[in-house]
Amino acid sequence: MLCVLFCTASSWADVVVVVSARSSVTRLSADNVTKIFLGKKNTYPGGGNAIPVDQLEGSVTREEFYLKVVSKSASQLAAYWAKVIFTGDGYPPRLVEGNIAVKRFVAANPDAIGYIDKSNVDSSVRVVLEP
Amino acid sequence: MKVKYSLSVFCMIAAWLSVAEAATQAVSDSSVNEGLINRSEPTLFTLGGFGTLGVSHSSQSLGDYILDSTLPKGAGRSSSWSMGNDSRIGAQLTANPTSTVSMVLQIISEYQSDNTYHPEIEWANVKYAFSPNTYIRAGRIALPTFLNSDSRKVGYSYPWIHPPVDLYRVVSITNSDGVDANYRFEIGEAGNTIKILNGKNTIKRPTSISTSEDMWGVFDTIDYGAALFRIGYQKRNASSYSLLTGITGAWVPNIDLSVGGSYDPGNWFVMSEWIQRKSTTKLSAMYLSAGVRLDKFTPYVTYSNNGRGSFLPGFPPPTVASVLSASRSQSTFTTGMRWDFRKNTDLKLQYDNVKLSDNSNGYLANLPANTVLFGTRLHVISAVVDFVF
């Protein structure tokens, strides 16, 4: 079991959390990011609305982000959202498909926060967490 | 009061349906935008559902093993295998007409006291949110007696087949017609959430209908990373109408004090709760549960117990029936496993070893007269498939 996890982990690329280059947010803790992506907060620590965007279920970048930053597997995350949705407390982040589309969405929206593979980072976005 | 609350729930549903109508058009236009699939706030309307298909079997054929006092029959005497304990299906419609106002309507079909699966309105409320965790609500809302109260009926949201029975059966009421307010603030990385609730409830049991008026609750939850601690206090005046005798009982103040905590860093979890309930008697119940998450498998163990009630001074002399009822006590050792075998679906298997106390038949139901099973054990096996859609 451990070997399977390890081997999968080693084949991952590096995920980074990004905001728009126009955003005033410069740095976020894993705890800040976790709260925003689990819908527990909708603002940044220094103020300003936070709009998280998720990649599609099954994407490698998504799996890596949730395991490394939020400490939840895909099925744990699904159970978490079942609890939140059916208590009327909220909904998961909107979905955007692929690293490039997420980068463009975040770059164009100063409130947005997303996660992409490090190789896709350019000057339009700012890395706020490297887990 | 009764008319007022019924009307408020009715208005809620009416308001709800009118928003639904107006929104239908907008949804079709806004759901897809440049490859962006909206599932969050911008979607005006969201329909979802959850369900559990379950079966349980008990080794004790003289009485029924039931999870809750609202159930008329269970596994054991009425039938060797029973689907009533865990099976249910629920649908939830949510509307977000503005970024701060939302409405939720949840309807659940499950085994009822009258031996049917008639759908009931579990929630119908309007929420005004200042932030995700600071809001006020009005209508039919969840009564958060326990740590898992809000999602007690959504099997997919927790590891067990059902929340530990010995504790959760202490308060069968799951909702309140009235108002609540939720306020959250943060100190560093810790969060504190205070909820205050006021409302009323009517609950049907096989041989009685219980009404609770002037329900008040105060609940405080502290979260710090993977740790959660919760304390709750609620009081209400309750009266029971007997369907057998046609007699309405006196109003009795009920006070529940509950404490719960959990630690869930991801790969494993531990959770525990305790409650003390005071009405004409005082009793307490607890459980301690732990599990590990191994890829798609979550094996868990739980110990729970429910102590006998002691009569409190100041009430009329207890009857034979009430003495028997108060003497019920049992403990359970549970082991089981959740398997997330496909997307949005799990399969769970569970074994319960239930020990009836030395001077009661525990919570076994539908026993023939003069049956004495004091101090005996029963073995219960259950299997469920949970799903969300």
CA distances from B41 to A95, A110, B91, B139 (A): 12, 18, 19, 21
* Nearest-CB residue to A1 (from B106, B295, B388): B295
What is residue B319's predicted lDDT score, i.e. its pLDDT? 80
Q: Tens digit of pLDDT for each residue in B113-158?
A: 999 999 999 999 999 998 878 899 999 999 999 999 989 999 999 9
Say if residues B177 and B138 touch (Cβ distance below 8 Å).
no
**Which residues of A fall within a CB distance of 8 Å from B36?**
94-96, 101, 105
**Residue B41: pLDDT above 60?**
no
What is residue A12's predicted lDDT score, i.e. its pLDDT? 57
Q: Looking at chain B, which residue has its C-alpha nearest residue A43?
A: B131
**% of chain A beyond a pLDDT of 90:** 71
* Nearest-CB residue to B265 (from A71, A73, A94): A71
Nearest Cα of chain B lies from the Cα of A123 at a distance, in angstroms, of 23
Q: Looking at chain B, which residue has its C-alpha nearest residue A66?
A: B266
Report the CATH superfamily, name and number, of domain B2-388: Porin (2.40.160.10)
What is residue B14's predicted lDDT score, i.e. its pLDDT? 46
Mutation choice for B interface testing from A86, A96, A103 by most B CBs within 10 A: A86
Sign of the Cα torsion B189, B220, A72, B333 reads positive
Q: Tens digit of pLDDT for each residue in A10-31?
A: 455 699 999 999 999 999 999 9
Characterize B342-355 residue by residue with b for buried, 16 or more Cβ atoms within 10 angstroms of its Cβ, and e for exposed.
Answer: eebbbebebebebb
**Residue B75: pLDDT above 80?**
yes
**Which domains can be identified in chain A, with CATH numbers?**
14-129 (3.40.190.10)
Say if residues B139 and B177 touch (Cβ distance below 8 Å).
yes
Q: What ipTM, to 2 d.p.?
A: 0.83
Q: How confident is the model at residue B32 (pLDDT cuts 50, 70, 90)?
A: very low
Q: Per-residue DSSP letters for B195-237?
A: EEEEEEEEEEETTEEEEEEEEEEEEEEEEETTEEEEEEEEEEE
A108 touches B at CB < 8 Å: no
Tell if the CB–CB gap between A39 and B132 is shorter than 8 Å.
yes
Q: How confident is the model at residue B91 (pLDDT cuts 50, 70, 90)?
A: very high
**% of chain B beyond a pLDDT of 70:** 89
